[in-house]
Amino acid sequence: MTVSIVSDRGQSPVAPTLAAFPVNQWYVAALAWELKDKPLARTLLGNPIVLFRCADGSVAALQDRCCHRALPLSNGTLEQGGLRCGYHGLLFNAQGKCIEVPGQERVPGKALVPAYVLREQDQIVWIWHGSEANPQPTCEPPSYAVHNDEQYLFEGDVYHYDAPYQLIHDNLLDLSHLGYVHLRTIGGNARIHMHAEMKVDSDETSVTVVRHMLDSVPPPTYTAAYPFTGNVDRWQEIEFHISHLLIWTGAVDAGSEPIDAPERGGFHMRGFHGVTPETETTSHYFWTMATNPPTNAQDVKAKVIEQTVLTFDEDKVVIEAQYRNMRQFGQAPTVDIHVDVGANRARRIIERLRSVDQVVSPE
């Protein structure tokens, strides 16, 4: 939440501070299939939350703390009426109101648990992180039509990172690392990756990075999933948004068709990457990967998902090792190179949105 800083009368104004995370945003809380017949405990943006699916199929989120004796509500059970605490059986509805206290008729008026705004859309569950001025959503959650597109098959999962969320942003916005980190899967020739034609555009809330690698050798994941005849023309299109990134990568046979055409053919991998801070030093990474198998659809999808998991496992090792070293070396300086443009722009957007205006009390 945003905190306003007010100076004491007669003292110098307190300098502006930064909110821990950008506010007035939808962040990913879960993938739809995670919410089944049990409550799910998850800390999101520093808040311990219990997520659950109601009997009518809707989703809900409450503070993960019973107002009676503070047991995590995630230790409870789901019933027709809501979520029952696993200690003394208080039953809470989706709005956080206690509707039953076993053994007594009267329910105390103060028997309430804070509720969060949750929305399920395109098999993604979003939570609203609002400022004090905007506790209710000011916009709809992002849509992701790929999950409903019949030409694509997809699966996904969740990673927990012992690293800050912006290091994951950095990794996803700079795909030049593929030739070094992902040699077994989606990598390819490292030199071609580092010399790829790259275009970066940005506005106040987003960054777009487009990279083309023409006439290159297809990497193992591509040849395992698609019948290329030789070298390929590859594309990488990355859209950074505050809470998530959309990455469309793929290839066509070299010279066969333009790779900037919206309806291009060939092999596609369309990734959704929801990056939600757990704390300032840990993160949740929600991902799905969609592909367009020309034949043997289920087998090809399984192969792409298997290769995607291997790829993300490799990224996790690198990012967590990077953060351990950052902590070990403290404020040791770093340098930027040409592939850092997109990540640096994203960091400036985050920093601007985190800024909190100074509020000085009247004399």
Using 50, 70 and 90 to split pLDDT, how confident is the model at 134?
Answer: very high
Whether 156 maps to a domain, the answer reads: yes
Using 50, 70 and 90 to split pLDDT, how confident is the model at 358?
Answer: very low
**Which CATH number covers residue 212?**
3.90.380.10
Residue 288 to residues 26, 118, 122, 152, 266, Cα–Cα distance (Å): 18, 20, 11, 12, 20
Calculate the average pLDDT of the chain. Answer: 89
The answer to whether residues 168 and 116 belong to one domain is no
Whether 19 maps to a domain, the answer reads: no
The answer to whether residues 149 and 84 belong to one domain is no
Whether 48 maps to a domain, the answer reads: yes
Instruction: Look up tokens 């999962």; give the residue.
Output: 157
The answer to whether residues 119 and 175 belong to one domain is no
SS3 116: strand
**Which CATH number covers residue 64?**
2.102.10.10
Whether 174 maps to a domain, the answer reads: yes
Q: Looking at residues 11-21, what average pLDDT do you find? A: 54
Nearest of 229, 50, 193, 211 to residue 127 by alpha carbon: 50
Residue type, 172: L
Query: How many domains does one find in the chain?
Result: 2
Whether 359 maps to a domain, the answer reads: no
Instruction: Show which of 101, 129, 157 is a domain's final residue.
Output: 129
pTM of the model: 0.89
The answer to whether residues 324 and 219 belong to one domain is yes
250: pLDDT strictly greater than 70: yes
User: Rounded to an integer, what distance in angstroms lies between the CA atom of residue 6 and that of residue 17?
Assistant: 11
Whether 107 maps to a domain, the answer reads: yes
Q: What is the pLDDT of residues 262-277, one digit of tens each?
A: 999 999 999 999 999 9
Q: What is the pLDDT of residues 40-90, one digit of tens each?
A: 999 999 999 999 999 999 999 999 999 999 999 999 999 999 999 999 999
User: Which pLDDT score is estimated for 220?
Assistant: 83
Percentage of residues in the chain having pLDDT higher than 90:
75
Instruction: Show which of 63, 95, 129 is a domain's final residue.
Output: 129
User: Which pLDDT score is estimated for 219?
Assistant: 86
The answer to whether residues 267 and 326 belong to one domain is yes
CA 55, distance to chain mean position in Å, is 27
16: pLDDT strictly greater than 80: no
360: pLDDT strictly greater than 80: no
The answer to whether residues 158 and 66 belong to one domain is no
User: Which pLDDT score is estimated for 195?
Assistant: 62
Whether 347 maps to a domain, the answer reads: yes
Residue 144 to residues 51, 57, 250, 288, Cα–Cα distance (Å): 21, 20, 18, 11
Domain with 55, as residue range(s), is: 25-129
The answer to whether residues 89 and 209 belong to one domain is no
Instruction: Using the Cα atoms of residue 254, residue 256, residue 259 and residue 263 in order, give the sign of their dihedral.
Output: negative
The answer to whether residues 201 and 347 belong to one domain is yes
Tell me which DSSP letter residue 283 carries: E
